[in-house]
Structure 1
Amino acid sequence: MIRKYMIERRSWIILFLALQALFLLIAYLDASIPFQSILYIVFLSCIIFILFLMVRFQKETTFYKELEALGDDFDLISLKDARTPFEKITNTQLTDQAQYYKKSLSDLLISVEQEKDDLLGWIHEVKTPLTTMQLMMDRMEDERLKAQLNNEWLRIHLLLDQQLHQRRIPFIKNDLYIEVTALEALLYKEIKDLKSWCMQKGIGFDISLQNPEVLTDAKWLSFMVRQLLTNAVKYSENSDILISSYLEAGQIKLVIQDAGRGIDPRDLPRIFDKGFTSTTSHQDNAATGMGLYLTKKAAASLAIEIDVQSTLGEGTTFTLTFPKKNTFVQLTSM
């Protein structure tokens, strides 16, 4: 702060030093003026000026030290050490701006919350005709047309489900319920929902669960598995998807391995980025780039680590590593 103050007042300091140098120069050139006396006066003036700067430094920087200490805390923007007219102007402007931005932020949050509620309500409304459509398709006799409609219905259902969870992600901490979850029942339910799509593409499942139970939130784990299975089915053809679980170093791992097209090595660091849809199939307009992004966000809230390994043209393996029990104690106490 001393350096900043000296820079701020450098014009005053330069003016003072210039005047003292001028006095000495005049005394030096004019023999009628005693040089020693002027030198003594200049010396005393410098001492007084230094003391003056020290006093002014304490008074003038108190306000700015308090301002600097505030940081981003707009709730404490009223500065009690504003004494000079300029400081009072600064304090008034900052207070008014802080109140304005706080009000704008509050209005924006209300607007976003209303928009979220409207969208969630719309999603739930759309699910009703989708259920009706499913019942109508089940009664169709044309199996070929039925399969095509089922695939399109499934795409709409998955997109709506993704939107629903995208809106819930910011509030996931309020929605967690950690419990012992049976992997077999969870996986079979998700596979059953993808049955028609898998049959069309000739995809089967090979499930081997050495550890059939994990401690996690069943609803959000289902969402994560749904996204990974959807990706695996989407990019595979006439092959099996291998699903396994095992215990390693005291942590349960769930592995989902497909034999699909794989991921380009240059894309691997970006697959969890929001909106990223791959560089090898950039013309795929059906991709949203949100599935793996939301999966990563949900995994972070559940303290689940996601590892991905892929070879282009050979397939992709996703590994979910579940945390130890002690981690959940910390997670639920936050």
Structure 2
Amino acid sequence: MHHFIYVKEPRNLNVLTAPSDLVYKEILKKLLQEQSDIKLQHKTQEEQLQQLIKLWSHQMKVPISALSLMAQTGHLDKEDVQRQLLRLENDLSRLLNYLKFNQNQSDFRFETCQIRDILIDLIKKNQVFFLQKDLSLTIDGDWKLKSDKKWLSFVFSQILDNAIKYNKKGGQIIIKIKENQILIRDTGIGILKEDIPRLFEEGFTGYNGHEHQKATGLGLYMAKKVLNNLELDVNIESQIDQGTQVYITKK
């Protein structure tokens, strides 16, 4: 919690002319400017947070509407219900993680991690989405490193979510793991060349995000921030209509 001391500028500040008074005047002006900057910064942060909550609420209404329609019509397909509930769970998890990360960026617990195991757990959790689009998946290799399992899982969930969301029906996701590198490749619709440099900007959705109306523009932004704290790099290569390759490497 930040506490601010509000300093009221004397009305007759201009009459202070002695050397010591001028020093005091400069200090006071600096304090007032700093106070103004802090207030503006907090106002901007608050507006960004309100915008984010609004955006996320809109995104979560999609699966809620789908579930509501199923309940009204009595067409409760088990797999479809699972998909919508999982979508809600994933969206809520991302929002909570985003808020947690912004408030406390030192929340990292390092332990020995098996990359393959983390990815397989995520794949199992999201298998309803793989089945829906008839996606095939191959995973090869492993990498044991000291890292934070929870935050690594969060990063992989962002990348896998995009690989599923923007893939073609009957497409592939290929994961290749080796010492110091993870490659997650999909056969999806790809990313425009001019969008690639901006993918990790906060709120940037690009052409694909606008087309699919499913993107908040925070997944890759957060993934990059988290990976930076884990001393890992992320790079993306893509070709339109051929797919995307995401490389995660040791710095």
TM range (shorter): 0.7 to 0.9
Write the deviation string for residues 61-85 of structure 1: whole angstroms up to 9, x where unpaired.
xxxxxxxxxxxxxxxxxxxxxx943
Higher relative contact order (CA 8 A, sep 6+): 2
Structure 1 position 184, deviation (Å): 2.3
Q: Aligned residue for 1:183?
A: 115
Could you tell me how far 1:218 is from its partner in structure 2? 0.8
Q: Gaps (5+ residues) in structure 2?
A: 1-15, 50-74
Cα distance, 1:96 vs structure 2? 6.6
Cα RMSD of the aligned pairs, angstroms, is 3.6
Give 1 or 2: higher helix fraction: 1
Q: 1:208 deviation in Å?
A: 0.4
Give matches, 1:1-334, under 5 Å.
84-85=17-18, 88=21, 91-92=24-25, 94-95=27-28, 98=31, 101-102=34-35, 105=38, 145-171=77-103, 173-209=105-141, 211-237=142-168, 238-247=170-179, 252-280=180-208, 282-323=210-251
In structure 2, distance between residues paired with 1:104 and 1:274 = 22
Instruction: Give CA deviations for 1:183-235 in whole Å, capped at 9, x if unaligned.
Output: 222111111121111111101210101x3412211111000000000000001
Normalization by structure 1: what TM-score? 0.56
Are the equivalent residues in 2 in contact too, given 1:172–1:301 (CA < 8 A)?
Answer: no
- The Cα of 1:285 is off from its aligned counterpart by 2.4
Matched to 1:261, the amino acid is: I
The Cα shift of 1:321 comes to 0.4
Measure the CA separation in 2 of the matches of 1:171 and 1:179.
Answer: 23
Identity within the alignment, %: 27
Q: In the aligned structure 1, how far is the partner of 2:220 from the partner of 2:209?
A: 16
- So what's the TM-score if we normalise by structure 2? 0.73
What is the alpha-carbon distance in structure 1 between the residues aligned to residue 36 and residue 224 of structure 2?
33
- Tell which structure's C-alpha radius of gyration is larger: 1
Instruction: Name the CA distance, whole Å, in 2 between partners of 1:182 and 1:298.
Output: 18
Specify the SS of the correspondent of 2:246. Answer: strand
Would you identify which runs of 4 or more consecutive aligned residues in structure 1 move more than 6 Å?
none
Task: Write the distance in 2 (CA, Å) between the matches of 1:148 and 1:281.
Answer: 23
Q: Distance in 1 between matches of 2:143 and 2:216?
A: 32
The count of residues paired between Structure 1 and Structure 2 equals 216
Q: How far, CA to CA, are the matches of 1:155 and 1:264 in structure 2?
A: 26
